[in-house]
């Protein structure tokens, strides 16, 4: 038997772990249960048989609906809660930004709390003294840093929590819903700091309801649902699955592998279904390659299987990493169909300008009522089409958006004679 001795141990290894809470009905009965055989009223299992591994340097997103068990799982990993069964092994240092205010003493100043938190993480007084100026500078809360924390706004508390948690580079940085707290300036700054720490080799475990942040930061996403791991895999695929399961719970969700290797997620109650989809150029030629700036027509054939008071048709375009670049539907364009009858077929033609950068894209289609698919999802189809965009006639540009740019410039010999810009020349033809 051989074993790979060169393989480093997993940074985080969660094995068959479950967490239950016992309810004794009252605090008195709970305390009494330590000494006497007091029967409990009920036991609720919050997390069931969880198996998750994380390698050094890996960035994993943890997503799921409210109450799925995400925060509980993070508390178990950092050790503030103990598993009921199974094990959690961490082979490295952890720094965590959990619930707002958790671990801070409101009577201590920001500086004192920062020093206290750093000491709890195991840093020496010298290390803490050396780090405090950076923590103060990063938090940017001015004189408040030396005021008691009870005077802080929630955003200020988050700034200090974030500054402390990221002042010393840990092996694993855990962040629970902290990415969208605070003002836009601090969000941007903290996002950049996470990226810096990640680039230095720190692994990330992030809980966030911000899909774009998850897609930008994570190599893998774990979807928790009712305390179990429903999916663990490629971010764009898991996020498509999540999008499908947040709707009507009774509707089936299927995932099939396309010849290109992509995973196509399809969901919905089947009251209406997409039966075919075609992408064409204006001259009617079917196209899987489109040119930057060109007008394209998407034709969607729909069969209706039940009488529907409302039918909305939507589409969205995503890049290969799953970032949504554009999406709209006939609710927003005020073209929602009403009183659609069982047995009818509908053809929807959506024309759009391919104002995208060169690259590969995929298209999702949606049939539902109202403005989103959350209430009545008839059919949602990811990867309904994959297409390529090439640039043959516009100057080279970078990015996924094509902004048709006109530039005029004047070289002025003397600054005082500088002419105003010729607005007419700048206008789009």
What is the smallest separation between the CB atom of 373 and ligand ATP, expressed in angstroms? 20
Question: What are the φ/ψ torsions at residue 417 (nearest 5 degrees)?
Answer: -95, 10
CA distances from 331 to 69, 210, 223, 269, 376 (A): 34, 24, 29, 19, 14
Q: Which of 407, 399, 401 is nearest to 428 (CA)?
A: 407
Residue 17 vs 381, nearer CB to ligand ATP: 17
Residue 195 vs 209, nearer CB to ligand ATP: 209
Q: Half-sphere exposure of residue 108, counting CA atoms within 13 Å on the CB side?
A: 14
According to CB under 6 A, which one of 14, 54, 59, 70 is a site residue for ligand ATP? 70
Q: Does 66 bind ligand ATP (CB under 6 A)?
A: yes
What is the smallest separation between the CB atom of 67 and ligand ATP, expressed in angstroms? 4
What is the smallest separation between the CB atom of 68 and ligand ATP, expressed in angstroms? 4
Q: Does 53 bind ligand ATP (CB under 6 A)?
A: no
Give bridge partners of residue 308 from the DSSP assignment: 340
- Alpha-carbon gap, residue 306 to 146, rounded angstroms: 65
According to CB under 6 A, which one of 68, 131, 340, 366 is a site residue for ligand ATP? 68
Q: Which of 265, 276, 268 is nearest to 252 (CA)?
A: 268
Sign of the C-alpha dihedral computed for residues 165, 167, 170 and 175 taken in this order: positive
Listed ranges 60-68, 185-193, 308-316, 364-372: which one lies at the site for ligand ATP (CB under 6 A): 60-68
According to CB under 6 A, which one of 11, 12, 17, 46 is a site residue for ligand ATP? 46
Residue 93 vs 228, nearer CB to ligand ATP: 228
**Intra-chain end-to-end CA distance of the chain, in Å:** 72
- Alpha-carbon gap, residue 244 to 252, rounded angstroms: 9
Residue 75 vs 123, nearer CB to ligand ATP: 75
Give bridge partners of residue 320 from the DSSP assignment: none
154-165 vs 184-199: helix crossing angle, rounded to 10: 10
Q: Does 21 bind ligand ATP (CB under 6 A)?
A: yes
Listed ranges 26-34, 66-74, 148-156, 340-348: which one lies at the site for ligand ATP (CB under 6 A): 66-74
The length of the chain, given as a count of residues: 429
Q: Does 67 bind ligand ATP (CB under 6 A)?
A: yes
Q: Does 83 bind ligand ATP (CB under 6 A)?
A: no
Q: Does 45 bind ligand ATP (CB under 6 A)?
A: no
Binding track over 249-268 against ligand ATP, x by CB under 6 A: --------------------
Q: Does 43 bind ligand ATP (CB under 6 A)?
A: no
Rule CB under 6 A: which residues touch ligand ATP? 21, 44, 46, 64, 66-72
């Amino acid at each position: 038997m051989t074993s790979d001795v060169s393989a480093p141990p997993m940074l985080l290894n969660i094995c068959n772990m479950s967490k239950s809470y016992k309810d004794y009905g009252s605090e008195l009965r709970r305390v009494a249960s330590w000494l006497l055989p007091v029967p409990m009223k009920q036991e609720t299992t919050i997390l069931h048989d969880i198996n998750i591994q994380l390698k050094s340097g890996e960035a994993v997103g943890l997503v799921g609906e409210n109450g799925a068990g995400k925060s509980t799982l993070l508390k178990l990993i950092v050790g503030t809660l103990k598993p009921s069964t199974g094990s959690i092994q961490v082979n490295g240092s952890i720094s965590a930004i959990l619930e707002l205010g958790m671990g801070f003493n409101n009577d201590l100043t920001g500086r004192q709390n920062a020093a206290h938190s750093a000491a709890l993480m195991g840093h020496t007084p010298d290390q803490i003294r050396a780090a405090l100026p950076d923590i103060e500078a990063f938090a940017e809360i001015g004189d408040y840093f030396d005021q008691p924390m009870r005077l802080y706004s929630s955003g200020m508390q988050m700034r200090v929590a974030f500054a402390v948690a990221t002042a010393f580079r840990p092996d694993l940085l855990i962040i629970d819903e902290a990415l969208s707290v605070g003002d836009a300036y601090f969000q941007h700054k903290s996002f950049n700091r996470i990226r810096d720490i990640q680039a230095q080799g720190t692994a990330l475990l992030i809980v966030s309801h911000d899909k774009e942040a998850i897609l930008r930061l994570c190599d893998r996403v774990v979807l928790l649902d009712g305390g179990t791991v429903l999916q663990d895999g490629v971010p764009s695929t898991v996020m498509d699955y999540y999008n499908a399961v947040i709707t009507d719970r009774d509707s089936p969700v299927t995932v099939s592998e396309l010849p290109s290797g992509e995973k196509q997620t399809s969901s919905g109650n089947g009251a209406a279904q997409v039966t075919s989809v075609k992408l064409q150029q204006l001259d009617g030629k079917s196209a899987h390659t489109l040119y930057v700036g060109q007008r394209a027509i998407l034709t969607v054939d729909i069969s209706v299987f039940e009488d529907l008071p409302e039918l909305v048709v939507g589409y969205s375009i995503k890049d290969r990493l799953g970032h949504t670049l554009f999406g709209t539907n006939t609710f927003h364009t005020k073209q929602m169909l009403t009183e659609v009858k069982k047995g009818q077929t509908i053809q929807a033609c959506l024309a759009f300008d391919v104002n995208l950068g060169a690259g590969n894209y995929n298209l999702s289609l949606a049939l539902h009522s109202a403005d989103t698919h959350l209430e009545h999802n008839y059919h949602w189809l990811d990867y309904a089409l994959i297409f390529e965009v090439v640039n043959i006639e516009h100057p080279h540009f970078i990015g996924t958006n094509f902004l048709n740019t006109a530039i005029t410039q004047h070289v002025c010999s003397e600054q005082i004679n500088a002419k105003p810009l010729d607005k007419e020349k700048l206008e789009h033809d």
